[in-house]
Amino acid sequence: MKMYPTNQIRNIAILGSSGSGKTTLAESMLYEAGVIQRRGTVEAGNTVSDYFPVEKEYGYSVFSSIFSVEWKDRKLNFIDCPGSDDFIGNIVTSLNVTDTALMVLNAQYGMEVATMNQLRYTRNLKKPVIFIVNQLDHPKADFDNVISQLKSNVGEKVVLVQYPINVGEGFNSVVDVLTGKMYRWKPEGGVPEVLDIPDSEKDRAEELHKRLVEAAAENDESLMEKYFEQGTLTQDEMRMGIRFGLVHNDIYPVFCVSAGRDMCVRRTLEFLGNVVPYVADMEPPINTNGEVVKPDANGPTSLFFFKTTVEPHVGEVSYFKVMSGTIREGDDLVNADRGSKERIGQIFSVAGQQRTKVDDLAAGDIGATVKLKDVRTGNTLNGKGAENKFDFIKYPDPKFRRAIKAVNEKDTEKMNEALMRMHGEDPTWVVENSKELKQLIVSGQGEFHLKTLKWRLENNDKIQITFSEPKIPYRETITKAARADYRHKKQSGGAGQFGEVHLIVEPYYEGMPPAETYRFGGQEFKVQSRDVQTYDLEWGGKLVFVNSIVGGAIDARFLPAILKGIMSRLEQGPLTGSYARDVRVVVYDGKMHPVDSNEISFMLAGRNAFSTAFKDAAPKILEPIYDVTVFVPSDKMGDVMSDLQNRRAMIMGMESDKDIDVLKAKVPLKEMSSYSISLSSLTGGRASFTMKFSSYELVPSDVQDKLLKEYEATQTEEA
């Protein structure tokens, strides 16, 4: 494969819901471009895109797959993305390194929830979208309904480039209003007959042609002037206008295909090669210094590594986009993230696991290399004169958590290494070794996401693992003020230990004014703040430590020891052993011994005085609350809302986004453990959701009683 200049490169992400036929479309594109000689099928497990064992086992895409085709002096780089929301990380990555989205719609269902979710990402990233209505040969295909849904969701910017004449099992022809021709295929598909539009279709074709010309002209003043003068535009002028419209998200062209029968795939490739925006047409990325990095093939070299896979007999394969400059075999580069040096050995243009060696790649192109020493997903490699670093990919928060453990404890280290490697391949697999929960937690986008991780560990790495319900990171706090004192005294021959601490604890909130008087049991305590220190606790919340000691009752050198003792008790609250937070501690009195007092004595005295006061201060358990947004078909809203209310959710609002309702709620993390499974069951897989940490809130009294009993039972068992 030759090197293509930047203005001949197109980067395209193939999106769509599961079952829309993306992988089959990719296979037909590869066949039409001559990259493969025979088309595989998803059912046979022999497609170019789905080549990992787990994909063949489950029959659906798990990873994005990159393939490149040469088409009429242009290079088209495609990234075929999984359709399931569980693998949304691949879609986010792909959209960030491509310039246009090819959205594949199933002609039976049209705009599905997954499609809507993906469309939101294209809008957020301002990516052009071309719609492909696929499976028009299916008995239940309904093209008019799909277009109605598209216009309902996207608006009048949806413009037909093609429409089918006969939908269903007899599908074999489309009218193309851009070329002004009808394309008709034999049952085996492939190269069509190119015919004049029949008289029966001329009125509709002329009306749609006029609408397409107007849409193309709207995006450029010179084209608009020509249209007013001549009443029409040439095909080349229309293509230019459509490209301008795509760049500014002002036009959404629609194409028709039957990917399974290779009908209209060739024409689609032709359109993509002619009309998809060039790399340089799109808004250039910005590095971490806020500098614009233009795709200049003559500039200093920068590569951004967006994907890593581990393949049999090859090892680690690293995929990159050339952000600037030109990369050549043997180039020495510096890793901007890790400081290490790398030499680029072989460079490949790829089609799934097929790799074609190339000598160089110019700015805007996408390629792969192997056997790098110290490069991770998200790293930037720079050549001489370049000081770029990129971090523009923002992944969604996890939605499904499980504690993971190796069945054989001897496999624990091997399992940890495999999990880190898999996180590198898919950053939305998040691994956390929780010191607080004493569990290794893996998080992902849904049940199938973690099910896939488990399959790979057990089948690829031969590590048997178990999943279990993760513990909840509760917090403890107090709801009223309390006072306590404690004397630590120990004598064992020679120097002893002595320390006495008197303190007050009270709940703390941001901006809380200092108190000067407290009353406990009819006795009044006046304090004067000599020094106030505020500490941000690593687990959230604050500790405010107030020194109110007068008359030298405790030497200032012992205060850090008292603070240390208090911190140790904050790490293990008395109710459930969870972290405590949001407490103000006033140390106002105490005693010391001229010989026996030391730091350990005051640390123990401070810890025990704090523990006693905490228990008397009406301690309460706090639980993590998450902001949950559910995208659900309107007809399922009632079921979904009832289910959330049964999960102690507080409904915050509802709104409608075309045919999809959006429900916003605050829900305790405890109630979200298997929500993705329940939501799928309630809606037949037609809904999705996002969740993000919001705050810690007091648990209801009945829930607290239950938690206390559960904790007491575990303490009894351990004893």
Asked whether residue 393 is domain-assigned, the answer is no
Q: What is the rounded average pLDDT for all residues in the chain?
A: 92
What sign results for the dihedral spanned by CA atoms 260, 263, 269, 272? negative
pLDDT in the model for residue 717: 58
Residue count of the chain, please give it: 719
pLDDT of res. 416: 96
Q: 447-459 and 412-425 helices cross at what angle (nearest 10)?
A: 130
Q: How confident is the model at residue 230 (pLDDT cuts 50, 70, 90)?
A: confident
Same-domain pairing of 699 and 561: no
Task: Using the CB atoms, write b or e for 214-244: b if 16+ within 10 Å.
Answer: ebbbbbbeebbebbeeeeebeeebbbbbbbb
pLDDT digits (tens, 9 = 90+) for 322-377: 999 999 999 999 999 999 999 999 999 998 888 999 999 999 999 999 989 999 99
* Residue 389 placed within a domain: no
Q: How far is CA 35 from the centre of its chain?
A: 32
CA angle at 190 for the pair 348 and 163, rounded to the nearest 5°:
105
What is the 3 state secondary structure string of 581-635?
CCEEEEEEEEECCCCCCCHHHHHHHHHHHHHHHHHHCCEEEEEEEEEEEEEEEHH
Is the pLDDT score of 719 beyond 60? no
> What's the confidence (pLDDT) of residue 658?
64
Contact 411, 55 (CB under 8 A): no
Q: Is residue 276 part of a domain?
A: yes
Q: What value does the CA radius of gyration of the chain take, rounded to a whole number of Å?
A: 32
Give the least confident one: 45-49, 138-142, 244-248, 273-277: 45-49
Strands (E), 459-598: 465-468, 475-478, 482-490, 497-507, 517-520, 523-526, 531-536, 542-547, 579-580, 583-591
314, part of any domain: yes
Q: By mean pLDDT, which of 306-315, 512-521, 567-576 is the weakest? A: 306-315
Query: Taking the CA of residue 378 as centre, how many other CA atoms within 13 Å lie in the half-sphere pointing to its CB?
Result: 16
CA distance 481 to 499: 23
What's 659's domain CATH number?
3.30.70.240
**Residue 643 belongs to some domain of the structure:** yes
Is 231 contained in some domain? yes
Query: Given pLDDT bands bounded at 50, 70 and 90, which one contains residue 539?
Result: very high
If you average pLDDT over residues 222-229, what whole number do you get?
88
Which residues, 6+ apart, have CB-to-CB distance to 314 below 8 Å?
A: 370
CATH number of the domain bearing residue 119: 3.40.50.300
pLDDT in tens, 50-98: 777 777 777 777 889 999 999 988 999 999 999 888 899 999 999 999 9
CB 102 within 8 A of CB 91: no
Do both 125 and 196 map to the same domain?
yes
Q: Are residues 533 and 649 in the same domain?
A: no
Domain count, the chain: 5
In the chain, helix, strand, coil percent, each to 5? 30, 30, 35
Residue that is last in its domain, among 617, 638, 671: 617
Q: Closest by alpha carbon to 91, among 16, 9, 10, 26? A: 16
Q: Which among 478, 513, 485 is positioned nearest to 499, based on CA atoms? A: 485
Q: 671 and 571 share a domain? A: no
CATH number for the domain spanning 430: value is 3.30.70.870
Residue 718 has pLDDT above 60, yes or no: no
Are 89 and 204 within one domain? yes
Structure confidence at residue 116 (pLDDT): 87
In this structure, the answer to whether residues 511 and 627 fall within a common structural domain is no
pLDDT score of 313: 75
What's the confidence (pLDDT) of residue 113? Answer: 80
Q: How far apart are CA 285 and CA 300, in angstroms?
A: 15
Same domain as 236, residue 360: no
Please give the backbone phi and psi of residue 97, each rounded to the nearest 5 degrees, phi first.
-110, 5
For the stretch 188-221, pLDDT in tens is: 888 999 999 999 999 999 999 999 999 999 888 8
Q: Are residues 103 and 248 in the same domain?
A: yes
Cα separations in angstroms, 158 against 176, 274, 423, 643: 15, 19, 38, 36
Domain containing residue 585: 476-617
In this structure, are 266 and 130 located in the same domain?
yes
Same domain for 321 and 275: no
Confirm if 351 and 68 have CB atoms less than 8 A apart.
yes
Residue 170, phi then psi, degrees to nearest 5? -90, 5
For residue 451, what pLDDT band results from cuts at 50, 70 and 90? Answer: very high
One-letter amino acid identity for 121? Answer: Y
Residues 335 and 437 in one domain: no
246 and 120 part of one domain:
yes
Q: Is residue 374 domain-resident?
A: yes
Q: Is residue 652 part of a domain?
A: yes
CATH number at residue 601: 3.30.230.10
- pLDDT above 70 covers what percent of the chain? 99
Neighbours of 423 (CB within 10 A): 18
- Record the tokens describing residue 461, joined without a space: 């790495």
Q: Where a domain ends, among 576, 597, 617?
A: 617
Last residue of a domain, one of 382, 412, 442: 382
Please, how many CA atoms are within 13 Å of residue 71, restricted to the half-sphere of its CB? 25
